[in-house]
């Protein structure tokens, strides 16, 4: 690893100790400089152009390419504030970042969810995945939960809730549905007493990793013959809120979105008013025009 990248990684960790940005950015930078085979001082905007074409030729998603560009841009910003005479930033946002159209979140079908949870009998795993499905937790938020974050016996008039540490070390409160609360309490009753304060423990009695949680879901998906990711469970929670006509500002807070525009993408997935308008229009069209052509 280049010494500049090592210093950059430490700087990111100091700024956001609980975030995983330093891991992803470090990996992105190592991939880039291995491809470029040049020191940081020799990188030009033309090299960035060529790297984008290289990533696209490999079939990388737009989001992946843009994240790598963000890593490179942030790296050179760090070099600039670290010392005078730093090389110019070769990433020019207006020139290099790829425009990405609206991408709708993919939720899971209710029938697939029934098949999935039918095979999840382990109380720990059932609680983890119900927290994603019924409370909208991210997989990292499930991983980071500690016993001190649980408020399962609130005062009268309040709901059981969790204190979460989300993206960029931001905190939010998540309320527990009865189904999620029952599953969590069932796991806590079976949870071994160990020194580690993590809610969800590995077989070694330690906090589970994000990868371990994802692999558990893959295992159950294979057993149920369905393909569902952790983030799809969160997307499904949002879709259910939209279908229940929860105000978008409340959905934003429940999901922990910084920008309401992020939350509004879920309105495109399941908009009952648009569905009703379409259904009414097609009913009128079908009365006037047959599929074979010609008036009815």
Name the residue ranges covered by the structural domains of the chain.
Answer: 3-96, 110-272
Distance, in Å, from the CA atom of 53 to the CA atom of 72, rounded to the nearest integer, reads: 16
Render pLDDT for 26-84 as a digit per residue (tens, 0 to 9). Answer: 999 999 999 999 999 999 999 999 999 999 999 998 889 999 999 999 999 999 998 88
pTM over 0.75: no
Closest-CA residue to 199 (of 234, 164, 148, 154): 148
Please indicate whether the domains covering 3-96 and 110-272 agree at the CATH topology level.
no
- Class of the CATH domain delimited by 110-272: mainly alpha
pLDDT over 90 for what percent of the chain? 57
Angstrom CA distances, 271 to 101, 248, 259, stand at 19, 12, 20
For residue 17, pLDDT over 60 is answered with: yes
What is the CA angle 63-69-72, rounded to 5? 145
Render pLDDT for 133-150 as a digit per residue (tens, 0 to 9). Answer: 999 999 989 999 999 999
Angstrom CA distances, 268 to 61, 112, 225, 252, stand at 22, 21, 28, 15
For residue 4, pLDDT over 90 is answered with: yes
For residue 168, pLDDT over 90 is answered with: no
Distance, in Å, from the CA atom of 130 to the CA atom of 237, rounded to the nearest integer, reads: 10
What pLDDT score was predicted for residue 233?
A: 94
The third-level CATH classification (topology) of the domain covering 3-96 is DNA polymerase; domain 1 (1.10.150)
What pLDDT score was predicted for residue 293?
A: 53
What pLDDT score was predicted for residue 289?
A: 63
């Amino acid at each position: 690893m280049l010494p500049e990248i090592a210093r950059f990684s430490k700087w990111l960790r100091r700024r956001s100790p609980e975030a995983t940005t330093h891991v992803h950015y470090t990996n992105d930078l190592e991939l880039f400089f291995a491809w470029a085979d040049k020191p940081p001082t020799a990188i030009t905007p033309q090299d960035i152009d060529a790297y984008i074409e290289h990533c696209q030729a490999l079939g990388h998603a737009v989001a992946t390419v843009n994240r790598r560009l963000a890593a490179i841009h942030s790296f050179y910003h760090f070099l600039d504030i670290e010392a005078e005479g730093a090389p110019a930033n070769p990433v020019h946002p207006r020139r290099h970042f790829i425009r990405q159209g609206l991408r709708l979140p993919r939720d899971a079908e209710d029938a697939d969810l029934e098949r999935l949870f039918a095979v999840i009998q382990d109380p720990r795993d059932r609680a983890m995945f119900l927290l994603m499905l019924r409370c909208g937790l991210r997989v990292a938020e499930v991983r980071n939960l500690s016993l001190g974050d649980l408020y399962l016996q609130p005062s009268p008039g309040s709901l059981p809730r969790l204190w979460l540490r989300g993206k960029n070390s931001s905190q939010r409160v998540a309320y527990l549905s009865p189904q999620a609360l029952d599953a969590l309490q069932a796991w806590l009753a079976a949870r071994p007493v160990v020194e580690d304060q993590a809610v969800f423990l590995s077989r070694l009695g330690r906090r589970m990793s994000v990868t371990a949680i994802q692999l558990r879901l893959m295992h159950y998906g294979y057993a149920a013959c369905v393909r569902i990711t952790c983030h799809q469970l969160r997307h499904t929670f949002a879709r259910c809120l939209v279908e229940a006509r929860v105000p978008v500002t409340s959905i934003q807070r429940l999901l922990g979105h910084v920008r309401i525009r992020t939350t509004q993408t879920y309105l495109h997935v399941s908009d009952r008013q648009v569905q009703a308008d379409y259904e009414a229009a097609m009913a009128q069209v079908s009365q006037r025009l047959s599929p074979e052509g010609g008036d009815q």
